[in-house]
Amino acid sequence: MDPKAVKSDLVLILDYGSQYTHLITRRIRSLNIFSLCISGTSSLETITSHNPKVVILSGGPHSVHSANSPTFPSGFVEWAQKGGIFVLGVCYGLQLIVQRLGGQVDVGQRQEYGRMEIEVEKNLGVFGNKKVGDKQVVWMSHGDETVKLPYGFEVVARSQQGAVAAVENREMRFFGLQYHPEVTHSPEGMDTLRYFLFDVCGVSPGWNMENVLDEEIRVINDAVGPEEHVICALSGGVDSTVAATLVHKAIGDRLHCIFVDNGLLRYKERERVAETFESDLHLPVTCVDASNEFLSKLKGVVDPEMKRKIIGKEFISIFDAFAHELEQKLGKKPAYLVQGTLYPDVIESCPPPGSGRTHSHTIKSHHNVGGLPKDMKLKLIEPLKLLFKDEVRQLGRILNVPDAFLKRHPFPGPGLAVRVLGDVTEGNALDILRQVDEIFIQSIKDAGLYDSIWQAFAVFLPVRSVGVQGDQRTHSHVVALRAVTSQDGMTADWYYFEHKFLDDVARKICNSVRGVNRVVQDITSKPPSTIEWE
Ligand code: XMP
């Protein structure tokens, strides 16, 4: 979609690598204000091209004193002054403002990490709606400290230790918060952001999914025109389903979807997904059973990355054949391809030093199944590329996509191939895994826990252990259960089930899945583990 057509003022976030930067963007969007996040070291030209009303300089793990610490471009302050732009620095962002405008930030005099009380000293700026002496709990996370303010700035709040907690220069429209208002550990943080954006900056809102839907449909229609055809590969997940439903609403049956059964799907997945696509969403879908092709190519392969490559390549050749068939049938090549790319995949940020990240594109590239054949020359339609996952779900709801789809746990593109450790074609590993996974997931649903878990699944281990079943010694398979909580899959914690629940599930698995005599639970977080075992 075209960000310029959004009916809302824009709050632009310059990202300096804080783990909370995306959260600020999402919090602001929850106020129906459009917000975008770009790299903190973007050029002045890039920043101004967005035409923001407010710029927020995010937190970050850097110190303004380190060599090469990221900063805003020269000319930024002058541009903000001339253009009537409001600027808010958060944590590192505040220290950048102080240092760049001639104040002083000292290293490590008084460190503040975690819960802290602050007191309003002046009812100005972000605290214009508070009384002098008002106290509130906030979340701090800083080693450096402001010791001298730039000319024209005032302290409006201090921490219980006396450190500067909030500053402002009303005339310049520059503000700063040393704490993180975006996290829930700052209980009044959202109120402060709301007051700042609406009352201090006078931002007009207008970002909501109804508007986004109208705008998307207009943009898709404009791009595709009245003649062209579009293809889309459905995975059965939230993103591709919502993207396809949206494009279908815009251009109708000139959208052609393909759903590939690669033999690595979960229990009855093809049937369940196909049924919903047809009867609930009325999407034109061609289901292709390519399990033999995939599984024969995976025979004997144990290396996880090799599995991913083989699956990606095979997927592309099927996709290519689909495009070719359509060309024969329609008498013209489909010109566009829909992809369910989300905003976190396209955000460029300033990653923390030593994280090994360049920007988010790089982190996730191995997660995309395959890629696109070079000679397909399809133009991309990415209708969700400005949206976060929760916004995609909201959009899906407006489009009447059933909750069963919208609330589904993420499922990796290579499917069960990365959940059967080692050779996926060995014995009846896939079959056993499907049965175990189904019991585990169904039990989670029956216990009402599905929506509180980010992702849950079973893993088939390529080892056998000794057991005793019906007075007989068995030498059967071990399966692992994994359930995690997470915000975005980048970090995760294992989910705490009650012992009774685990006991019931383990019993049920051993009693009903032939070939399994031992069930273990994975209790590692990410890091140090990853969510998937391969
Ligand atoms: P990891 O295992 O890297 O997983 O902690 C993070 C999230 O990504 C999913 N995942 C994948 N998704 N292709 C995908 O489409 C992949 O190759 C892949 N590997 C992991 C994983 O399920 C989790 O949600």
Q: If you write DSSP's letter for every residue of 90-131 in order, what string do you get?
A: ETHHHHHHHHHTT-EEESSSS-EEEEEEEEESSS-GGGTTS-
pLDDT at 355 over 90: no
pLDDT at 361 over 60: no
pLDDT at 183 over 50: yes
Q: Are strands 34-39 and 104-106 parallel, antiparallel or unpaired?
A: unpaired
Say if residue 235 carries a ligand binding annotation.
yes
**Domain 419-521 classification at class level:** alpha beta
Structure tokens at 531: 């969510």
Q: Domain-by-domain residue ranges, the chain?
A: 8-200, 209-406, 419-521
Active-site annotation holds for 232: no
Q: CB within 8 A of 499, min separation 6: which ones?
A: none
Euclidean distance between CA atoms 61 and 174, whole angstroms: 22
Distance 533 CA to ligand 1 centre (A): 10
pLDDT of residue 113: 83
Distance 367 CA to ligand 1 centre (A): 6
Is residue 478 within 8 A of residue 461, CB to CB? The reply is: yes
Nearest ligand 1 atom to alpha carbon 308 = 17
Q: What residues are paired with 136 via a beta bridge?
A: 118
Task: Give 209-406's CATH code, choosing from 3.40.630.10, 3.30.930.10, 3.30.420.10, 3.40.50.620.
Answer: 3.40.50.620
Residue 188, ligand 1, Cβ within 6 A = no
pLDDT at 514 over 60: yes
pLDDT of residue 19: 84
Active-site entry in 22, 62, 142, 180:
180
Of residues 201, 248, 234, the one with CA closest to residue 400? 248
Euclidean distance between CA atoms 203 and 38, whole angstroms: 20
Say if residue 415 carries a ligand binding annotation.
no
Nearest ligand 1 atom to alpha carbon 526 = 5
Residue 532, ligand 1, Cβ within 6 A = yes
Tens digits of per-residue pLDDT, 19-77? 889 899 999 999 999 999 999 999 999 999 999 999 999 999 899 988 889 999 999 99
Residue 53 φ/ψ, nearest 5 degrees: -95, -35
pLDDT at 364 over 50: no
- pLDDT band, residue 471 (cuts 50/70/90): confident
Distance 534 CA to ligand 1 centre (A): 9
Of residues 241, 265, 247, 231, the one with CA closest to residue 372? 231
**How large a percentage of the chain has pLDDT more than 70?**
95
pLDDT at 187 over 50: yes
Tens digits of per-residue pLDDT, 426-435? 999 999 999 9
pLDDT of residue 222: 94
Is residue 175 within 8 A of residue 86, CB to CB? The reply is: yes
Active-site entry in 182, 216, 391, 534:
182
Active-site annotation holds for 91: yes
pLDDT of residue 359: 41
pLDDT of residue 521: 98
Euclidean distance between CA atoms 258 and 373, whole angstroms: 16
Is residue 5 within 8 A of residue 191, CB to CB? The reply is: no
Q: How far is CA 112 from CA 163, 181, 189, 373, in A?
A: 9, 15, 17, 52
Of residues 410, 467, 459, the one with CA closest to residue 437? 459
pLDDT at 109 over 80: no
Mean pLDDT of the chain: 91
Residue 402, ligand 1, Cβ within 6 A = no
Active-site annotation holds for 348: no
Is residue 332 within 8 A of residue 231, CB to CB? The reply is: no
Q: How far separated are the first and last CA of the chain, in Å rounded?
A: 35
Euclidean distance between CA atoms 102 and 367, whole angstroms: 45
* pTM for the model: 0.83
Task: Give the Cβ contact number of residue 174 at 10 Å.
Answer: 27
Domains 8-200 and 209-406 alike in fold: yes
Tens digits of per-residue pLDDT, 142-182? 888 899 999 999 999 999 989 999 999 999 999 999 999 99
Residue 204 φ/ψ, nearest 5 degrees: -100, 130
Residue 370, ligand 1, Cβ within 6 A = no
pLDDT of residue 375: 61
pLDDT at 365 over 50: no
Distance 40 CA to ligand 1 centre (A): 27
What sections of 202-290 are H helices per DSSP?
209-224, 238-251, 269-275
Nearest ligand 1 atom to alpha carbon 366 = 17
Of residues 361, 321, 331, the one with CA closest to residue 233? 321
Strands, sheet with 336-338, edge to edge from the N-terminal-most edge strand: 285-289, 255-261, 230-234, 336-338, 379-381
Residue 367, ligand 1, Cβ within 6 A = yes
- pLDDT band, residue 345 (cuts 50/70/90): confident
pLDDT of residue 354: 61
Residue 530, ligand 1, Cβ within 6 A = yes
Which CATH superfamily is 8-200 part of? Class I glutamine amidotransferase (GATase) domain (3.40.50.880)
Smallest CA separation from ligand 1 atom 7, residue: 489
Distance 413 CA to ligand 1 centre (A): 8
Strands, sheet with 154-159, edge to edge from the N-terminal-most edge strand: 34-39, 10-15, 54-57, 86-90, 174-177, 164-169, 154-159, 112-120, 135-142
